Amino acid sequence: MTDDTIAERFKRTNVEYSTDLQERIVKSRDLTKFVKSLSIPDIVVYPKNEEDVIKIVEFALEEHVPIVPRGSGHGSVGGVIPLKGGILVDMTRMNKRIEEDEDTITLEAGSPINFPARVYPTLWKRVTIGGNFCGGSWGIGSYMYGINWDQVIEARMVNPLGSVVTLKGGDIKIAAHAEGTTGIVTSLKVLKKPGYREEARIYLFGRLKDAVRAITKVYEESPPLYHLLLRSPQMSRLTKHLGEFNKWQLLIVYFSESEPEEKDLPRQSYVNGKVLWENRDMFFAGVYLKHFNEMYYSTVHVELDRMEGIMEKFKDEYLEVEFANDRLAHIDIMSNRPINFTLDNPFSVDDIKINSRLRRDHLQKIINYKKRYDKEDLFNPGKVSLEVFQ
Ligand SMILES: Cc1cc2nc3c(=O)[nH]c(=O)nc-3n(C[C@H](O)[C@H](O)[C@H](O)COP(=O)(O)OP(=O)(O)OC[C@H]3O[C@@H](n4cnc5c(N)ncnc54)[C@H](O)[C@@H]3O)c2cc1C
């Protein structure tokens, strides 16, 4: 089918669209470097509301063409690349606040993260809430609150039958980090963070070993921290204006209303972390974006006791580790040369498929749903392998 015939037929939906070549190329890319695919969509479409999304899905089903949703394209794993062409659905015009109360907010999926989110990615100033829910996972705040989808109370989705479904409880994982393979999320109801003042400290360590020991103690004592992050001396060289430390920096952030007891924190000298915290958009992903043309990036999630060994291997590169309540260390690595992650790790991102990034129960939910409702594999094809045991 040529672009024009798709466009001709798509006109009947009355949804805004473009077949401009440059636009199709730009919209089919994200921040991935390891994927060399040049596939582009036949058409880019711009829904303004849920009714438009239903029309687009109905069109895709009638025409048997693939359909790939897109937020702001700041993912790092090729999630928005339409491997089999078809319709690329740009969600950024669906950006309305639907309702809000003291504890929750309901937003259209293309909305920016401009509310007090409990968990948010370093690139929160640029991304959409739907893109982060469908393509992200842990982030700032994960030490206290867990993964981003743990904060979601309800997700509305147009599923591969064209029906609007409201996912709640355990079913939220059908859409979370599914990259649109199970449907297009139209809105999310999420929990908000309380408006407490945040305090930040930076503990400094000459040796990685000592920093790791301090982190282990923090996990054992479980003080009420909001965020916990470790940066290498090399990383701070890339953000000199935020303070240059020739040491490992352990950033801890807590709510002033629940200051942790000193005995539960590292017994180590520390400095005020206000400047670093206020510039948290320049944590790892922000820095990577700034150095995008000369740097490569990879990330891996490992149990705490394996962290030190892996970091030692990469100690000359730029390292940052986010800690979450799942007791995994989420290690980000940036280098001037491609990083070949051949380590035997359960979770890593150097693969366009979501399989290596999710726990088995989560993946199984996505696969079951996809097998049941997307028999033609039209929803972001190529992003999930239907074999869970590989
Ligand atoms: C160096 C680096 C570090 C990063 N670190 C983190 C991190 O720590 N934590 C984290 O969570 N993220 C991280 N990211 C990834 C990225 O920043 C987030 O996932 C981001 O929130 C993506 O948002 P987006 O709007 O750009 O989504 P996109 O990139 O546009 O989309 C992401 C995926 O979601 C799908 N999608 C988008 N919208 C919808 C929808 N409405 N319905 C169904 N599917 C949809 C897309 O098809 C795609 O597969 C990092 C990225 C980089 C480059």
- Full set of structural domains in the chain with CATH: 97-194 (3.30.465.10), 198-348 (3.40.462.40)
From 215, 214, 224, 299, select the one nearest 260 (Cα to Cα): 224
* Confidence at residue 351, expressed as pLDDT on a 0 to 100 scale: 77
Q: Is the CB of 71 under 6 A from ligand 1?
A: yes
| Rounded average pLDDT over 283-303 | 91
pLDDT, mean over the chain: 93
* Confidence at residue 21, expressed as pLDDT on a 0 to 100 scale: 95
| Rounded average pLDDT over 380-388 | 90
Q: Whose CA is nearest to atom 48 of ligand 1?
A: 79
Range with the poorest average pLDDT among 67-71, 246-250, 269-273, 336-340: 336-340
Q: Is the CB of 66 under 6 A from ligand 1?
A: no
Give residue 248 CA to ligand 1 midpoint distance, Å: 28
Tokens 């043309």 found at? 293
Contacts of 153 (CB under 8 A, 6+ apart): 104, 168, 189, 190, 191
Q: Whose CA is nearest to atom 8 of ligand 1?
A: 139
pLDDT of 137-169, one tens digit each? 999 999 999 999 999 999 999 999 999 999 999
| Rounded average pLDDT over 275-286 | 96
Residue 237's CB is within 10 A of a number of other CB atoms, namely 12
* Confidence at residue 341, expressed as pLDDT on a 0 to 100 scale: 60
* Confidence at residue 301, expressed as pLDDT on a 0 to 100 scale: 85
Contacts of 88 (CB under 8 A, 6+ apart): 24, 27, 28, 41, 43, 44, 45, 68, 69, 70, 80, 82
Q: Is the CB of 180 under 6 A from ligand 1?
A: yes
Q: Is the CB of 350 under 6 A from ligand 1?
A: no
Q: Is the CB of 318 under 6 A from ligand 1?
A: no
Q: Are 388 and 358 in contact (CB under 8 A)?
A: no
pLDDT of 187-228, one tens digit each? 999 999 999 999 999 999 999 999 999 999 999 999 999 999
Banded model confidence at residue 345, pLDDT cuts 50, 70, 90: low
Burial of 12 (0-12, 13-18, 19+ CB in 10 A): exposed
Q: Is the CB of 185 under 6 A from ligand 1?
A: yes
Q: Whose CA is nearest to atom 19 of ligand 1?
A: 136
Q: Is the CB of 76 under 6 A from ligand 1?
A: yes
Ligand 1: which of 28, 50, 54, 80 to mutate, judged by most atoms within 8 Å of the beta carbon? 80
Q: List residues bridging with 164 in a β-sheet.
A: 158
Give residue 74 CA to ligand 1 midpoint distance, Å: 6
Res 390 pLDDT > 60: no
CA distance linking residue 113 with residue 64, whole number of Å = 34
| Rounded average pLDDT over 341-357 | 68
Q: Are 86 and 17 in contact (CB under 8 A)?
A: no
Would you report the helix, strand and coil content of the chain in percent, each value rounded to 5? 30, 25, 45
> What is the model's pTM?
0.95
Ligand 1: which of 44, 67, 76 to mutate, judged by most atoms within 8 Å of the beta carbon? 76
Q: Are 48 and 89 in contact (CB under 8 A)?
A: no
